[in-house]
Amino acid sequence: MESKPYLLKETNWKTVKDIDYKVAVLPWGATEAHNYHLPYGTDIFESDYCAEQSAKIAWEKGAKIIVLPAIPFGVNTSQMDIKLTINMNPSTQAKILADVIESLENHGIEKLVILNGHGGNDFKQMIRELQKNSKIFITNVNWYLVEDKKAYFDESDGDHADEMETSFMLHAFPQFVLPLSESGDGEAKVLKLNAFKEKWAWTPRQWTAVTKDTGIGNPKAATAEKGEKYINVVIEKIAQFLVELYEVNVSDIYE
């Protein structure tokens, strides 16, 4: 069995007690429908995968990284009419994050990366509030923004169970993906007001008013090959960030 000292859920106290970890990675997903063909845990699988694979690369380059077990619930306040969507309010997330940070402070962790895989999660204000009282340097990475997907996919306008997410899942977790013949087309409505179309006004999308199949973006052209090519670039970039974060002195982080 491969040793994974960078993956907390699979390692043990005998290993952990002798390693001076400096950077923790907290994958954060959501539990929600992803069109007809992807599992409810898609955001969990994806965030966990990105965290583990990037930490492995960083570890091999000498960075003492520890990946924490993923948080499986995200902000889904506008999807509660979709069966078995599990919502976690931002205020609850903030309390959980505060407890995790307090725990990590006790164990000498100097830096925390929240690796987010759900568009409804927004940690910026939480980090602003928590950072002023914490010795840990806190940062957030949305893995789906690391690399521009337009160069990899035919349909790049979607953002939920679209060609990109479906290709990722076909590459990494094909056993959980239904045949694409069973997926919906991910057609979605948009808000009528120009301010929303121009993106200088914002409001949460009411999911079932926007999409019939819960997807936003056509997944039909997805392939495992596209997913592998795209996500490998994403993972390499995150891994490099983890190495640089591990090595940097946060008291001298500006140039």
**Where are the chain's structural domains?**
8-252
Q: Which of 69, 97, 75 is nearest to 31 (CA)?
A: 75
Report the 10 Å Cβ neighbour count for 78.
Answer: 18
CA atoms of 88 and 220, how far apart (whole Å): 31
Confidence of residue 3 (pLDDT cuts 50, 70, 90): confident
161-180 pLDDT, tens digit each: 999 999 999 999 999 999 99
3-state secondary structure of 112: strand
Q: 8-252: which CATH architecture?
A: 3-Layer(aba) Sandwich (3.40)
DSSP string covering 116-162: E--TT---HHHHHHHHTT-SSEEEEEEGGGSS-GGGT-S--S--BSS
Dist. CA 51–CA 62, nearest whole Å? 16
What CA–CA distances, in Å, run from 47 to 50, 75, 183, 224? 5, 15, 22, 17
Res. 137 pLDDT band, cuts 50 70 90: very high
- Asked whether 217 and 159 are in contact (CB, 8 A), the reply is yes
Say if residue 148's pLDDT is above 80.
Answer: yes
Cα–Cα distance measured from residue 75 to residue 120, given in angstroms and rounded to the nearest whole number? 5
Angle between helices 90-105 and 124-131 in degrees, nearest 10:
40
pLDDT for 220: 97
Question: What is the rounded radius of gyration, in angstroms, for the C-alpha atoms of the chain?
Answer: 19
pLDDT-derived band at 2 (thresholds 50, 70, 90) equals: confident
DSSP type of residue 23: E
pLDDT at residue 35 above 80? yes
Average pLDDT of the residues in 6-28 = 97
What is the percent of the chain where pLDDT is above 70?
100
| pTM, two decimal places | 0.96
The rounded distance, in Å, linking the Cα atoms of 166 and 158 is 11
Percent of the chain with pLDDT over 90: 98
pLDDT bracket for residue 34 (50, 70, 90): very high
**Residue 39 in contact with residue 48, Cβ under 8 Å?**
no
**Average pLDDT of the residues of the chain:** 97
Average pLDDT of the residues in 139-160: 96
Does the pLDDT of residue 1 top 90, yes or no? no
Decide if 63 contacts 242 (C-beta within 8 A): yes
Residue 74 forms beta bridges with which residues? 87
CA dihedral for 165, 168, 174, 179, sign (positive or negative): positive
**Stretch 145-158: mean pLDDT:** 95
Q: Let me know: does 162 contact 226? Beta carbons within 8 Å.
A: no
pLDDT in tens, 69-115: 999 999 999 999 999 999 999 999 999 999 999 999 999 999 999 99
Mean pLDDT of 58-69: 98
* Rounded Cα gap, residues 177 and 186, in angstroms: 16
What is the per-residue pLDDT for 72? 98
Which amino acid is located at 251 in the chain?
S
- Average pLDDT on 59-71 reads 98
Model confidence at 58: pLDDT above 80? yes
